[in-house]
Amino acid sequence: MDMNIVVISKLHLIRQSLMQRLKFLGFNVYLFSDMQEFLPRFNLVNPDIILMDGDGAEKEWKLLAKGLSNVKKIIIFILLISAISIDSANEAIALGIAGIILKPFNPEEHIKKIMEIVHKNRSHELKRSAPRFYPDIEDRGTLSFFDSEKKEPVNFTLINISKRGALLHLINPLVKEELQPGYRIPDAELKLHSIELDVSCTVVHRYGQYIGVLFENIHTGKSQLYRYIETLDNNIFGTVRLKGKW
Domain residue spans of the chain: 3-125, 137-232
Q: What is the dihedral of CA 155, 159, 161, 164, to 10 degrees?
A: -60
> At the topology level of CATH, where does 137-232 sit?
Thrombin, subunit H (2.40.10)
Q: Examine the pLDDT at 185 and tell me if it is beyond 70.
A: yes
Neighbours of 187 (CB within 10 A): 12
Q: Examine the pLDDT at 125 and tell me if it is beyond 60.
A: no
Edge-to-edge strand order for the sheet containing 3-8? 27-32, 3-8, 49-53, 76-81, 99-102
Q: Examine the pLDDT at 208 and tell me if it is beyond 50.
A: yes
Q: Examine the pLDDT at 129 and tell me if it is beyond 60.
A: no
Query: 3-125 belongs to which homologous superfamily?
Result: Response regulator (3.40.50.2300)
Nearest to 13 by CA among 83, 137, 110, 92: 110
Report the DSSP pairing between strands 165-172 and 184-192.
unpaired
Q: What is the pLDDT of residue 7?
A: 97
Confidence grade of residue 239 (pLDDT, cut at 50, 70, 90): low
Residue 36 burial (C-beta neighbours within 10 Å; 0-12, 13-18, 19+): exposed
Model pLDDT for residues 48-80, shown as the tens digit of each residue: 999 999 999 989 999 999 999 888 888 999 999
